[in-house]
Chain A
Amino acid sequence: MPPIPSPTPGAPALTVRGLSVDFATDHGLVRAVRSVDLDVAPGELVALLGESGSGKSVTARSVLGLAGAGAEVSADVLEVGGTPVLGLSPDGLRRIRGERVGLVMQDALSALNPVLTVGEQIAEILRVHRGVGRRAATARATELLALVGIPAPARRVRDHPHQFSGGMRQRILIAMAIALEPELLIADEPTTALDVTVQAQVLELLDDLRHRLGMAVLLITHDLGVVMETSDRVAVMYAGRVVETGPTTEVLSSPRHPYTEALLRSVPSRAGRDRLLTIPGSPPSPTAVPPGCSFHPRCRLAVEHCRDVRPDLLTVLPGRAAACHRSDELVEEVRDVVTVG
């Protein structure tokens, strides 16, 4: 086997430029992702925020060559730690996965093999990728279980997935994803199926791992609270495109895209007992994305121009970009409300 390319020193953990993903279906071509740019630096946690059908999961999976059957992936740049991923052979991709990029999925029960002990499943990764002996692999599996906070790891390493709770299974998936010390961890809605107290533990673990191991994390989520709590930067996706990006605290405190702003306004805790502000309609299906700005049918600031011309993602402030013709009006309006109120 050819050696796995090692990361280029100083390169971002993930660089994506102009990523587009199409699916050929019976109902025609579905344009799931359009011209997405993303950067994740080593040790950085970037959140990809979006609703169902926004293309956030497809974006993340394309990095791993896991966009699915019938997916047509194209990109100007798609690099993990300076290594181009696009055009790699299936075997090359398999080795990038795990070695260089770890993946944690939402449904921990279906992602684990029910007939193998969790120790065997973690050890298998080490034996296949690293050629580690059985005994040493099991010892390392025990260490990993301890690292992700599983009590009594020396005993639990011999247990099967069904013997663990949902939160514990999610920790096991994280242990598997970091077993080969990848430089990038992709976590696709890792806490969506979990209760809040358990979710808090898993988010804390992710945060701890990236600080301790300097791992970059791309977190895919629909939860604004999770984004605010964990991420350094956020990219907001709508209908297959990134519509706003920037440092999390800035984006969520003074959004530059009406969609981000509307999402924030529909969060109940912001409203107190007042009536919730709603976004009319629902997110468009990827098979029927509106022309012009795809958010215009739901946008309260939309003008004729928005119907006809799709806005580009433009820098609005250093480190921040938004794809909206009316971004300045949005800022002015919010400022007016603040000064009047």
Chain B
Amino acid sequence: MSSPSAEVRAAGGEPVLEAEGLVKTFRAGSVLRPERVRAVDGVSLSLRPGEVLGVVGESGCGKSTTARMLVGLDAPDGGRLLYRGEDVTRLRVRDRRLLRRGVQMIFQDPYSSLDPRMSVADLVTEPLAANRRGDRRSRRSRAGELLELVGLDPSAMNRYAHQFSGGQRQRIGVARALALDPDVLVCDEPVSALDVSVQAQVVNLIDDLRRTLGVAVVFIAHDLSVVEHVADEVAVMYLGRVVEHGPADAVFSAPTHPYTRALLSATPSVEVADRGRLGRRRLLKGEPPSPLDPPTGCTFHPRCWLADERCSAEVPLLRRPDAVGLPLVPTARAACHHAEALLTEETAATPA
């Protein structure tokens, strides 16, 4: 194993960013009947240098809110956020400074996330200027380096965002995020606004950066095939909680949570052999529930085919399923009372 990624991953070591039981609530309802909705309800994640953590889930599952807390854009209402072992949860001035240098965000929409009145050089080096790093001349040369790093010609510096295509704009967004040499890039749906033929370029770029710079990546997406491709670890979210967490290959080949199973079976595939797969998919009952009125116990229970009384009463904790009677030792953790039954069902359904 001589590839740089293997070295970086082996060097892994201490987590650069850790979230412990993050909670974020928002005000909802009317002035007369104020309510609070728990958008993120106890999410724990950790990230080592050079590691790519994929976060998947459907709209409203809290994945974007989690991302905003990880980069310090929103203060958590509970839990802890640690950057290189230092507690930055409260987002004091010092915490913000630490996070801004170490953790940067790449946004979904490369059209609205870049100021149309700034030149590319100013866009890319704005983080340096804001942190009073270097003078104008040194920042310009840094802009050239950054643009080259993301595969753009340094002559792009004097142009404006609207003169670039979506894929190129996303590269500018990445260059800007890299300006302060962060340890962590948090990418919130970085390719979903891009054309299919352009998505692959940006996915490869992010993968390259992880290899060459050893930067850790949180990759948030609803497209499971992209996450399967880039992620080392995957966290599956449902209604503000992580319901499954583990190595990407384990989560995608033998999911230990029924929701992951349903998500995977509902994703259309381009393989001829898979045609008609949606007809054979795991049907979920009903619709995703409202976070305003979450179901009791396991929040997935009203839609789950394995649910029983225990599921509506008792919140399942994230745990490694018991390996007794299973051909493979599970490596992912699932928040499900029936993870063992699901894995047995899996083995029964697919004869080796």
The answer, yes or no, to whether B166 is at the interface (CB within 8 Å) is yes
Contact with A along B42-81 (1 / 0, CB 8 A): 0000000000000000110000000000000000000000
Q: Are A276 and B167 in contact (CB under 8 A)?
A: no
A276 to chain B, nearest CB (A): 4
Other contacts beyond A52-B195, A253-B272: 8, CB < 8 A:
A222-B195, A229-B274, A229-B277, A229-B278, A230-B268, A262-B197, A273-B229, A282-B197
A123 to chain B, nearest CB (A): 25
Shortest CB distance B315–A (Å):
22
Residue of B nearest to A266 (CB): B200
Mark interface residues in A46-59 (1 if CB within 8 Å of B CB, else 0): 00000110000000
**Across the interface, do B196 and A51 meet the contact criterion of CB distance under 8 Å?**
yes
Q: Would B196 and A263 count as touching, CB distance under 8 A?
A: yes
Q: Does B269 interact with chain A (Cβ within 8 Å)?
A: yes
Minimum C-beta distance from B110 to chain A (A):
12
- A251 vs B244: C-alpha distance when bound (angstroms): 37
Contact of A196 among B200, B222, B279 (CB under 8 A): B222
Complex-state Cα separation, A263 to B196, whole angstroms:
7
Chain A binding surface, main DSSP class: helix
In the assembled complex, the Cα of A166 lies from the Cα of B196 at a distance in Å of 24
State A278–B196 Cα separation when bound (angstroms). 10
Q: From known contacts A229-B277, A266-B200, A279-B197, infer whether A224 and B59 are also in contact, taking CB-CB under 8 Å.
A: no
Distance from A209 Cβ to chain B, minimum over Cβ atoms (Å): 14
A269 touches B222 (CB 8 A): no
For chain A, the bracket of interface size reads: 35 or more
A196 to B223, CA, bound (A): 8
CA distance A278 to B199 in the complex (A): 8
Q: Size band of the B side of the interface?
A: 35 or more
Q: Give a binary string over B261-293; 1 marks a CB under 8 Å from any A CB, 0 the rest.
A: 011001111111011111101001001100000
Contact with A along B311-322 (1 / 0, CB 8 A): 000000000000
Contact check: which of A51, A200, A249, A279 meets B275 at CB < 8 Å? A249
Q: Give B142-200 interface residues, CB cut-off 8 Å to A.
A: 165-168, 195-200
**Within 8 Å CB of A283, what residues of B?**
195, 197-198
A302 contacts B by Cβ under 8 Å:
no
A195 touches B197 (CB 8 A): no
B347 CB within 8 Å of chain A: no
Across the interface, A276 reaches (CB within 8 A) one of B204, B263, B266, namely: B204
Task: Please state if B269 and A195 are interface contacts (CB–CB under 8 Å).
Answer: no
Q: Can you sample 12 A-B contacts with CB below 8 Å?
A: A167-B287, A195-B58, A195-B59, A204-B279, A228-B268, A228-B272, A252-B270, A268-B228, A268-B230, A269-B228, A276-B200, A279-B198
**A250 nearest in chain B by CB position:** B272
B254 an interface residue at 8 Å Cβ cutoff? no
Which residues of A approach B to under 8 Å, CB–CB?
51-52, 165-168, 195-200, 203-204, 222-230, 249, 252-253, 262-264, 266-273, 275-279, 282-283, 298
- Asked whether any CB of chain A lies closer than 8 Å to the CB of B201, the reply is yes
Of the candidates B226, B262, B266, B284, the one having the most CB atoms from chain A within 10 angstroms of its own CB is B266
Q: Please report the C-alpha to C-alpha distance between residue A133 and residue B277 in the assembled complex, in whole angstroms.
A: 43
With a cutoff of 8 Å between Cβ atoms, the chain A residues found around residue B207 in the complex are 275
Q: Does B203 contact A (CB under 8 A)?
A: yes
Nearest 6 pairs between A and B by C-beta? A225-B268, A268-B229, A195-B58, A266-B200, A276-B200, A200-B266
